[in-house]
Structure 1
Amino acid sequence: MKKNILYLLTITIFFSLLCATIGNRTVLANFTTDLDTLINGIEHQHGKIAEWSLYTRESINVSSKSDWLNQVDLLKEQFPHLEWDVREEKGQWQAEGFSRKKNIVESIKLLSTPTNNQYTSYLIYEVKGTHWNSQIALNVNKSIGVKLDALYSKKPVIFSCIKGEFSDKMDKVLLSEVSQILTSLHADEKEALKEKDFISISAYSPKIMQSIPTKDNRMNLQIGLRKTGMGANTSFVIGTPIITIEY
């Protein structure tokens, strides 16, 4: 129950931030993600990465279906290397460009829902993979800045997330594990939910580029750790500025 409540709170915060932006439009060609910082911190604690992702979206103005189709055509021209699927489903217009190269999946989505002659529309960019190394980091950092600059009118909030686990050979309790993660990221705990087999921490780290305001502080890091039984591995999910997936 506490897990579900925590997840719902996280999602509520997440969707309240999706339309938020940080600063004005700038050229992002030299963009650097937070993934290197997160992954280096976890690998320092001998954690194994199973999945990483970057996600961002921005609301856009769409006044009609023809306007939406024009936006789709523009995206197809900008990103011809993607495979595009355009459809209407359950009252929502959906266009998705998709690419898979080795273990990296990239997608651009344009979604629009018409309601009483009003249109709620979002442009979404996501890239994710299952392996990370210095070459992947270089390629992602090089390409994502250019693509975000082409896609968005402002500099959007970028949600970074990693998932994985610690080996059961680590004879540690959750509190010890999360403490070491916070230390490796130079992070200060702001809020926490701590149980025997589950911990969720909201924190602030000066090593993380973006942050969001809370009631009394700023935060830019969320950590979720869970054990599933005696001798079981510890799974983790870490996100900046918040976790955007269920944990």
Structure 2
Amino acid sequence: MSSTTGQSRAEKRAAKKAAKADGGEQKQGRLAQIRDTYTMTKRADPKIGLILAASFVVGALIGFGIFFFIPGPSLLFAIPGALLFGLLATIIVFGRRAQASAYSQMEGQKGAAAAALTMLKRGWKTDPAVGFNKQQDVVHRVIGPPGIVLIGEGDSASRLRTLMVSERKKHERVLSDIPVHEVVCGRGEGEVPLPKLVKHLRKMDKQVKPAELTDVRARIKAVDARRGTVPLPKGPVPSNMKGMRQNMRGR
């Protein structure tokens, strides 16, 4: 009986030790993501350190002022309130500056739109490079509340338009009852700039109910079964967009 109890205690200690180790690894992983994001941001925004320091000071002053005038033991709450507001302001500014920096480094690179689309949250499914040609013009596909959105990026507007029309027809043959939209990512007339791409998609009218999306994804396999695959072109595209989304909640 005593040996069984001793074994049980040893197992509990081992489990607690393993859980503590996992927690430590996760914490180190988050810190590494934040450090990498800061390093990436600093390359395009050299003054980010000063900006964050100023954000903290301004936020702290606002927080101190708000809590200082609350009736009661004002100083007791003013200092923690100042720290809280300062930290919150720093996180918000860091998130926005980091995202703007990432977009500025990605813009103009092959596959930049696909990298930006990783910022879409739950309820959206992104399939990069579902259509392509020899000139490396590509069409990405997003399935979400608006229906099917084909996002094109390339060097030639006329060549890309031909590719997108071809992709649209392929999808409409299988999903004639689902809206298919076309969006060109770029700086030309009628195009959506990369920094505004995700926001543009989120603002589109919701035409497909969540319950229907599962059926759409299943039916769309018929389209994908007839095509080949292509790797996205390699280039200096930031690869930690997902980590940035998870850590920076300023947007």
TM-score tier by shorter-chain length is under 0.3
> Larger % of strand: which?
1
Asked which structure has the greater CA Rg, the reply is 2
When the two structures are superposed, what TM-score results if normalisation uses the length of structure 1?
0.27
Normalised to the residue count of structure 2, the TM-score between the two structures is: 0.26
